[in-house]
Amino acid sequence: MRLSAEPRSGTSDRASGWIANIQRFSLHDGPGIRSTVFFKGCQMRCTWCANPEGLTPGWDIFFHADRCLHCGKCADLCPTGLHAWPDGLHLLDRKRPCTGCGLCEAHCPAGALDLVGEKLSADALFERVMADEIWFRQSGGGVTLSGGEVATQPDFARALIQRLKTEDIHTAVETAGYTPWRALEQATAGCDLIMYDLKSADDELHKRYTGVSNKTIVRNLKRLLQGGQPIVIRIPVIPYFNDSPEQAEKLLSLIYTLTRGRTGFKQIELLPYHRFGTGKYKLLNMEYGWNKADVDLEPWLQSALQYHLPITVSGTLAG
């Protein structure tokens, strides 16, 4: 997760923002070979979130406790007292701020600390992702803005998209849509593809497991569909949350109603639940709240067939 070897310092212009990571050579976040930029900051708190390091803006620290030598160098260097030593055990007091100085990471002899997060200008981020320009052009790929939530940083997103479009690079935005319309409109303006996450049509269920109502999300999707931009609706299929026949039918019925006659709607993409992000919770000293059984996709495939909705599973045509 380390983004640079030097201590970080942010810029103050409006066209700058926080990112957690750049994933190069991504094959599942839009067409072709892509670089996926993970923005930091999200208003939702999905119980199964695979990117907990993207929930808040600013810096985070991944702490590999099994590597720690308990030498105390990080505590001596930290300007805020983030590194605590109760009873001789190295813990991170995450109520204390991280300034992003990078001293603990740079001087840890065991490599037990990784600073996560960086504030970049849109131009600096553009230069980084364009290192893979040849792969974008040869594969029909490009750059995907993901998160966190892209629309928490609409000025940054818009500036980056505009910069990429000057070089005719395909741009995609992945969003959960829980944001004021003006921010979402700005964050997606000019992009070539919107990948819009929908999780449940049941508002109470949605509130219980994501922390927010789905009403704003549905309303914003309806407005985006009216604009005609290409949209793929992505559904994370989560066991014991939305993989029952009732939940599948309810959400696909809503999608059918919203997308009927809308030329911008391309397809539904099912994202089966996985546990790939669970290790990050341990590194952030956070509790992972979802560890259920394997997911059942069959109710979704059957309901999609009933409504004649184009659907894929992880990029593979499913019906």
- Concatenating the DSSP letter of every residue in 3-64 gives --SSPP----SSSEEEEEEEEEEESSSSSSSEEEEEE---S---TT-S-GGGSSSS-EEEE-
pLDDT tens digits, 165-214: 999 999 999 999 999 999 999 999 999 999 999 999 999 999 999 999 99
Distance from CA of residue 74 to its chain's centroid?
30
How is 94-136 classified by DSSP, letter by letter?
Answer: TTSPP----HHHHH-TT--EEEE-EEEEHHHHHHHHGGGHHHH
For 7, the token pair is 């201590």
Q: Angle, nearest 10°, between helix axes 215-227 and 245-259? A: 40
Question: β-strands 311-313, 265-272: how paired?
Answer: parallel
- Over residues 55-59, the mean pLDDT reads 92
Beta strands per DSSP E along 176-229: 193-197
pLDDT band at 215 (very low <50, low <70, confident <90, very high): very high
Tell me how far CA of residue 143 lies from CA of 83, 154, 208, in angstroms.
36, 16, 33
Q: Do 234 and 215 meet the contact criterion of CB atoms below 8 Å apart?
A: no
pLDDT at 6: 36
**Band of pLDDT at residue 264, cut at 50, 70 and 90:** very high
The mean per-residue pLDDT over the stretch 7-30 comes to: 77
Residue 279: phi, psi to the nearest 5? -65, -30
What H or E segment, with its residue span, contains residue 232?
A: strand 231-237
pLDDT above 90 covers a percentage of the chain that reads: 81
Whole-number pLDDT of residue 120: 96
Q: Is the pLDDT of residue 5 over 70?
A: no
150, exposed or middle or buried, with CB in 10 Å at 0-12, 13-18, 19+?
Answer: buried
Q: How far is CA 316 from the centre of its chain?
A: 21
pLDDT digits (tens, 9 = 90+) for 76-128: 999 999 998 888 788 899 889 899 999 999 999 999 999 999 999 999 999 99
pLDDT at 319 over 60: no
Full-model pTM: 0.89
Length of the chain: 319
Helix (H) or strand (E) holding 216: helix 215-227
Helix axes 215-227, 181-188, angle to 10 degrees: 40
For residue 216, is pLDDT > 80? yes
CB proximity list for 107: less than 8 A, separation 6 or greater: 73, 74, 77
